């Protein structure tokens, strides 16, 4: 039963990614035909429904999905997460930092699951691609991941100056 369910989930994910590629091709064709196209003619996929806010102390990105499992991720899914994080950060014209801390909270509707089985590298790569930091070496980036059980599947990404970690991290970890 479990193997069958995992195969079905992988097939659904592959179909979702194929639909996203088709929407990208459709949008690209629209752009080729004219530079003056109304926004309503474009197809905006639902997972682009991220939210981003800058509290002054930290940047929070909320994505209504969780990264796929490490062993199930293909290049399109990887790129989608990268582009989503980059787009969210570009949308607020975020500042640059010498070093940041990234705190990732994964919310998933299940009784037993491992947060460390989820591929978070595209999230970190999207942050680098946005220009927020120079690269993702230990000189510029530290991170932590927390998993929680919730009826509402989502990923919350908190980004803040590394020097403020002692002040901000306890606030984010407080589930009270």
Which percentage of the chain shows pLDDT scores above 70? 80
pLDDT of residue 73: 66
Of the pLDDT bands very low, low, confident and very high (cuts 50, 70, 90), residue 157 is very high
Contacts of 105 (CB under 8 A, 6+ apart): 145, 146, 147, 148, 155, 156, 157, 158, 172
Residues 77 and 14 in one domain: no
Q: How far apart are CA 104 and CA 144, in angstroms?
A: 6
Residues 24 and 62 in one domain: no
Question: Domain with 62 in it: what CATH number?
Answer: 3.30.1330.70
Residues 116 and 152 in one domain: yes
Residues 163 and 135 in one domain: yes
Task: State pTM to two decimals.
Answer: 0.75
Q: How far is CA 81 from CA 17, 33, 48, 50, 167, in A?
A: 12, 28, 10, 11, 28
Residues 4 and 71 in one domain: no
Domain housing 81: 46-173
Residues 20 and 69 in one domain: no
Model confidence over 29-57: pLDDT tens digits?
Answer: 766 776 666 556 666 555 567 899 999 99
Model confidence over 114-149: pLDDT tens digits?
Answer: 777 788 999 999 999 999 999 999 999 999 999 988
Residues 26 and 69 in one domain: no
Residues 59 and 137 in one domain: yes
């Amino acid at each position: 039963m479990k193997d069958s369910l995992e195969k079905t989930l992988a097939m659904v994910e592959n179909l979702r990614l194929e639909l996203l590629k088709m929407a990208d091709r459709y949008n690209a064709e629209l752009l080729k035909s004219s530079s003056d196209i109304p926004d309503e003619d474009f197809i905006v996929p639902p997972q682009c429904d991220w939210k981003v806010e800058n509290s002054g102390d930290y940047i929070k990105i909320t994505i209504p999905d969780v990264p796929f499992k490490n062993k199930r991720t293909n290049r399109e899914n990887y790129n989608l997460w990268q582009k989503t994080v980059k787009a969210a950060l570009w949308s607020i014209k975020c500042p640059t930092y010498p070093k940041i801390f990234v705190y990732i909270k994964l919310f998933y509707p299940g009784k037993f699951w491992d947060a460390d089985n989820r591929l978070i590298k595209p999230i970190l790569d999207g942050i680098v691609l946005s220009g927020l930091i120079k690269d993702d070496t230990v000189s510029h980036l530290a991170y932590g991941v927390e998993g929680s059980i919730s009826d509402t599947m989502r990923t919350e990404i908190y980004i803040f100056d590394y020097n403020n970690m002692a002040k901000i991290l306890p606030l984010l970890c407080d589930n009270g």
